[in-house]
Structure 1
Amino acid sequence: MLSNRNRSRLRLLLAPLLLAQLLSPGMSEHVQAQYTEPMHKEAATDAATFRLQVKAAPGARYQTESTFDDKSLQRALESAAAGVPYIEPLLPDTTLSYYKKDQTQLLGVTPTGEAVDLAAKQTLQLSSKAQAALREQVRALRAKHYGELLTWEEASLVLPKFSSFTVLDVESGLSFEGQRRAGSHHADVQPLTKADSATLKSIYGGQWSWDRRAVLVKLNGRTLAASMHGMPHGGDGIPGNDFNGHFCIHFLGSVTHGSRSVDPAHQVMVHRAAGLLNDYVSKLSPSALIDVWISGAHQGDLQLLQVTTGQEQALHVRSMRRLSKEQEQDVSQLLQLDTTVDVAMTGARSSAVSTRRVLFHLERATLQDRWFIRSAIIQ
């Protein structure tokens, strides 16, 4: 049991709260830029047409759409009864809009073709034929929208040194041209021109940043899932591009040059760029899940907080970085786990970095289910 003194310490409340009240002034502009637009506000305009739309996060400006006609599917949807609750922590990234009795209908669709009532968070009972039709449409659209999940060794062959390619940010939709200059464990990249450097800087709100972002790397008809940061460092090589150094792009299994270890924040962004964020996080160990939560806290990424806790989140922190790295515990027979992690953090209304300890409580329903972070208390 926590003492009264511990209860009075700063807590990170894992419950739905008003965004405007909890976001720190330094963080609010960044987060609101991602989440102000309603999710999938467009609707089908033809009564005989379905419109599919996919994007990586609710507020992402990069989206891919397709339209198709299927009268039998429309009849199946119009007569579908309510099914089981939809229990995934994130709503489907793909939506389907169509007309029913002169009213626009909007549903989520999973990669397996399940239709989801977004308001009720409940699936619809569809025939196997109708679900297969949806599954094929969603599969084709997501394949266009997201990138291939290639290992670093495979990606390095697709992007040889001195190759130039397009880098597209999956949230802002902004893109620029870059060139791989070096890098044996991940790609060391530079923007090609001043304009490309300016675009990269604008993706980060007008200042260089170490924050990780999910990106697509496009070259020779291939689109690869990747993660980048936006901080110039190290060697230079393209004169006159207003970028003093290079930035890094990671792929599946990439490691840092210094520690030769996988960067957890880059890996979660690689999977976001591949459209596999929920699948990836659902398989993580408690320690790795905490790494994703800390990345979300550090970057003000509400989707990462939600996928780790199963709840919509807001957070009272400017920055957070993990300091302690304990050995992985054997949790194979556990349904609950309490663990502490040392972090360097900056509070919402502070500029000073302090060393703190966070007490995490994690749970899962059965030994076969995934872990969720149910509480995090800063001590």
Structure 2
Amino acid sequence: MFVRCALRTRSQCLLTGLLALLLSSGLWMSGNAAVLEEPPSLLQAAGADSTLRLVVKASPSAHYQTEATFTDKAVLRALEDRKPGAAYSEPLLPDTVLTYRQKGQEQRVYVTPTGQVVDPIGHQYHVLEDEAQSTLKTHVQSLRQQHYGELLHWNDANRIIPKFSSFTIVDVESGLSFEGQRRAGSSHADVQPLTKEDSATLKSIYGGNWSWNRRAVLVKYEGRTLAASMHGMPHGGDGIPGNDFNGHFCIHFLGSVTHRSRSMDPAHQVMVHRAAGLLNEYVSKLPPLALIDVWISAAHQGDLQLLQVATGEEQALHVRSMRRLSKAKEPDVSGLLQYDTDVDVSTTPEGASAVKHRRIHFHLERASLEDRWYIRSAVMR
């Protein structure tokens, strides 16, 4: 099994190397005999018809991905013989895509961490033989473990990444990476880019502007990869001269809190779980007001995937900014299937510059007392 994190596929590398070998030798090997004849297509030579390719990434739009290829005729036969099963009801498709060729045509399905195959067109599971599903489960879990970060509580991350340690930060959406150094921070990590080149990379991750927006990142240090969340706004004290970064930015981990409020930042915690590959699992367990915080973060950052996981539907919301103003304690909804509430926000509509105070009426529902909540409507007043 060959694995790597890159934008270039392994098949490109394999075919390039194979072509170079053929051109240098002038021969095409057939069995044990060398014959001077035109070779078959490079795709056939690379065994494309018997190769399965897995690609995992945090969102459909992410450029950062990890891929693996393997050959397993039993899995291929099981895929060809698969039968339609139950409906797939999750708001997001699985993060792992499996492609293979069947009768000369490329097939594309999604695979869950448990090895279940999902048809993206019919939005339903396809049933495989137990052994084939077990094989896919092994490959997918191994690949996801390499792609995502370790979900580590701040108390442990604080010890593992000491002050003045330097590490690599990878943005899981763009795939861009840079070096940073932890300078301070007792409730989360206060970090600075090491060099002006690192600062330029951080700025490019945010489209060329400094920003408070939260982004899922991987922190790579001494052989470990931790799930984290960062913003990209210089603030506070400066400690590395000549790095073109006037201050520090913050990196949060599971359970870390802000300096001022001494409470967990909902948007950071969502991004930490995205970096761990657990976005859907995390959001599915949130109570109503915490789910509304996810929706507000999604609206503020224009994050379509977050909107979808909060509402269960593909939708877009166009605002320049949105912040929650009203705070309230989570209500007791243990016996409810529907819940309505009003939330005060500050918002800047798309195409405007003035900040307005508005009230949004949220209506949430769930199918049963054991099921997760969804935001079914959000009406701005």
Q: Same fold (TM over 0.5)?
A: yes
| Aligned equivalent of 2:228 | 226
1:70-112 Cα shifts (integer Å, max 9, x gaps): 1111111100111111110001100100010000000000011
| Aligned equivalent of 1:151 | 153
Q: How does 1:262-301 map to 2 (within 5 A)?
A: 262-301=264-303
1:225-280 Cα shifts (integer Å, max 9, x gaps): 00000000001100000000000000000000111000000000000000000000
| Aligned equivalent of 1:249 | 251
Output the CA distance in 1 between the equivalents of 2:347 and 2:194: 35
163, 177, 200: which one aligns with 1:161: 163
| Aligned equivalent of 2:27 | none
Contact 2:294 2:306 (8 Å CA) reproduced: yes
| Aligned equivalent of 2:52 | 50
| Aligned equivalent of 2:184 | 182
| Aligned equivalent of 2:306 | 304
Q: How does 1:77-116 map to 2 (within 5 A)?
A: 77-116=79-118
- Please state whether the residue corresponding to 1:138 is helix, strand or coil: helix
| Aligned equivalent of 1:198 | 200
User: Whose radius of gyration is greater, 1 or 2?
Assistant: 2
Judge which range, 309-318 or 249-258, deviates more. Answer: 309-318
Contact 2:55 2:68 (8 Å CA) reproduced: yes
1:132-167 Cα shifts (integer Å, max 9, x gaps): 111110000000000000000111111100000000
Report the alpha carbon displacement of residue 120 of structure 1 after superposing the two structures with TM: 1.3
1:267-326 Cα shifts (integer Å, max 9, x gaps): 000000000000000000000000000000000000000000000011121110000011
- Please state whether the residue corresponding to 1:56 is helix, strand or coil: coil
- Relative contact order (C-alpha < 8 Å, sep 6+): which is higher? 1
Output the CA distance in 1 between the equivalents of 2:88 and 2:148: 23
- Please state whether the residue corresponding to 2:99 is helix, strand or coil: strand
Contact 2:302 2:318 (8 Å CA) reproduced: no
Over 2 Å off, 4+ runs:
42-45
55, 62, 65: which one aligns with 1:63: 65
- Please state whether the residue corresponding to 1:140 is helix, strand or coil: helix
Report the alpha carbon displacement of residue 118 of structure 1 after superposing the two structures with TM: 1.1
- Please state whether the residue corresponding to 2:77 is helix, strand or coil: helix
Report the alpha carbon displacement of residue 349 of structure 1 after superposing the two structures with TM: 2.1
Report the alpha carbon displacement of residue 214 of structure 1 after superposing the two structures with TM: 0.1
Q: How does 1:19-30 map to 2 (within 5 A)?
A: none
- Write the letter of the residue equivalent to 1:123: Y
Identity %: 71
313, 316, 322: which one aligns with 2:318: 316
Q: Give the root-mean-square deviation of aligned CA atoms.
A: 1.4
Output the CA distance in 1 between the equivalents of 2:184 and 2:113: 37
**Gaps (5+ residues) in structure 2?**
1-6, 13-42
Report the alpha carbon displacement of residue 187 of structure 1 after superposing the two structures with TM: 0.1
**Gaps (5+ residues) in structure 1?**
1-36
- Please state whether the residue corresponding to 1:47 is helix, strand or coil: helix
1:322-347 Cα shifts (integer Å, max 9, x gaps): 00011110000000001010000001
| Aligned equivalent of 1:76 | 78
1:14-64 Cα shifts (integer Å, max 9, x gaps): xxxxxxxxxxxxxxxxxxxxxxx9xxxx99971111000000000100000
184, 198, 216: which one aligns with 1:214: 216
- Please state whether the residue corresponding to 1:243 is helix, strand or coil: coil
| Aligned equivalent of 2:364 | 362
1:164-222 Cα shifts (integer Å, max 9, x gaps): 00000000000000000000000000000000000000000001000000000001110
Output the CA distance in 1 between the equivalents of 2:318 and 2:181: 38
Output the CA distance in 2 between the equivalents of 1:107 and 1:212: 31
Output the CA distance in 2 between the equivalents of 1:315 and 1:184: 36
| Aligned equivalent of 1:16 | none
Q: 1:45 to 1:375 in 2, by over 3 A?
A: farther
Output the CA distance in 2 between the equivalents of 1:363 and 1:152: 33
Output the CA distance in 2 between the equivalents of 1:124 and 1:366: 25
Q: Report the TM-score, using the length of structure 1 for normalisation.
A: 0.88
Output the CA distance in 2 between the equivalents of 1:345 and 1:107: 39
| Aligned equivalent of 1:10 | none
- Please state whether the residue corresponding to 1:50 is helix, strand or coil: strand
- Write the letter of the residue equivalent to 2:86: V
Output the CA distance in 1 between the equivalents of 2:342 and 2:169: 38
Output the CA distance in 2 between the equivalents of 1:106 and 1:377: 38
Output the CA distance in 1 between the equivalents of 2:120 and 2:127: 14
Judge which range, 119-128 or 236-245, deviates more. Answer: 119-128
